[in-house]
């Protein structure tokens, strides 16, 4: 069984960035491949991936699948050629977070990208859901089909939740396309509650307790 691992996104690895953008497009249509919908993939990636990597690189983690088939060979043997680390195991998924959605939206609006100023303003405004007051952080999570259903999604969410709780962020929200039945099932299984539903969006939230140093759950 190939081995899935979680590690921080590496801003110095061009391969990490490329993989995140690729996965964003391949899962961008209610969880399915959005390649055919976007002649310019940046319509998706400049909204849902690149700004997180640029503006909040410390809140991004990737899931990798051991290239060697799970025997540990080739794993974590990162080379450093001086031009940035190279990671051997392919990135098959990610979680991208913004700990403070209000602040992130403001920074996004001023972040230069392929989007027009009007598109940027509209997307920033769309981030400002009322839920952000009780659930200030938000996330995006995506895994390639071959990495789905093996616990990586749960592990990525837990990694982000642990870091947010450590920073005393009181809650986390996200938005799902109501057509995305798999994601709707997933979020309720990993601790989120459905807060609100409109014809084209379901908002989920999870409150985060304060970190309790020295106390292990269970």
Ligand X SMILES: CC(C)(COP(=O)(O)OP(=O)(O)OC[C@H]1O[C@@H](n2cnc3c(N)ncnc32)[C@H](O)[C@@H]1OP(=O)(O)O)[C@@H](O)C(=O)NCCC(=O)NCCS
Residues that bind ligand X in the complex, under the rule CB under 6 A: 27, 31, 141-143, 148-154, 176, 180, 182-183, 185-186, 189-190
Q: From the CB of 22, what's the least distance to ligand X, in Å?
A: 13
Given the complex with ligand X, which of 77 and 162 has the nearer CB atom? 162
Given the complex with ligand X, which of 92 and 208 has the nearer CB atom? 92
Given the complex with ligand X, which of 110 and 145 has the nearer CB atom? 145
Q: From the CB of 214, what's the least distance to ligand X, in Å?
A: 27
Given the complex with ligand X, which of 2 and 86 has the nearer CB atom? 2
Name the strand (E) or helix (H) holding 45: helix 42-48
Task: Report whether 164 contacts 208 (CB < 8 A).
Answer: yes
What's the DSSP call for residue 40? S
Q: What CA–CA distance (Å, rounded) separates 67 from 105?
A: 37
Q: From the CB of 104, what's the least distance to ligand X, in Å?
A: 17
Q: From the CB of 213, what's the least distance to ligand X, in Å?
A: 27
Question: And the tokens for 203?
Answer: 């908002």
Given the complex with ligand X, which of 56 and 142 has the nearer CB atom? 142
Q: Which residue has the tokens 């039945």?
A: 181
Given the complex with ligand X, which of 78 and 197 has the nearer CB atom? 197
Q: From the CB of 107, what's the least distance to ligand X, in Å?
A: 22
Q: From the CB of 31, what's the least distance to ligand X, in Å?
A: 3
Q: Residue of minimal CB distance from ligand X?
A: 153
């Amino acid at each position: 069984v190939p081995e899935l691992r979680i590690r921080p996104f590496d801003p110095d690895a061009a391969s990490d960035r490329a993989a995140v953008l690729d996965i964003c497009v391949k899962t961008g249509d209610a969880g399915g491949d959005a390649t055919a919908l976007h002649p310019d993939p940046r319509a998706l990636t400049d909204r849902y991936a690149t700004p997180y990597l640029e503006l909040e690189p410390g809140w991004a983690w990737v899931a990798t699948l051991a290239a060697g088939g799970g025997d540990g060979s080739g794993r974590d043997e990162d080379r450093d050629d001086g031009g940035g680390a190279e990671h051997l195991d392919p990135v098959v998924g990610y979680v991208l977070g913004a700990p403070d959605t209000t602040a992130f939206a403001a920074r996004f609006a001023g972040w230069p990208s392929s989007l027009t100023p009007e598109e940027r303003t509209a997307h920033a405004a769309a981030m400002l859901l009322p839920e952000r007051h009780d659930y200030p952080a938000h996330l995006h999570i995506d895994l390639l089909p071959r990495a789905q259903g093996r616990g990586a999604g749960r592990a990525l969410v837990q990694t982000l939740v642990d870091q947010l709780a450590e920073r005393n962020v009181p809650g986390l929200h996200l938005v799902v396309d109501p057509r995305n039945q798999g994601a709707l099932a997933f979020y309720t299984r990993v601790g989120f509650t459905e807060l609100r539903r409109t014809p084209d969006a379901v908002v989920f939230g999870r409150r985060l307790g304060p970190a309790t140093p020295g106390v292990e759950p269970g």
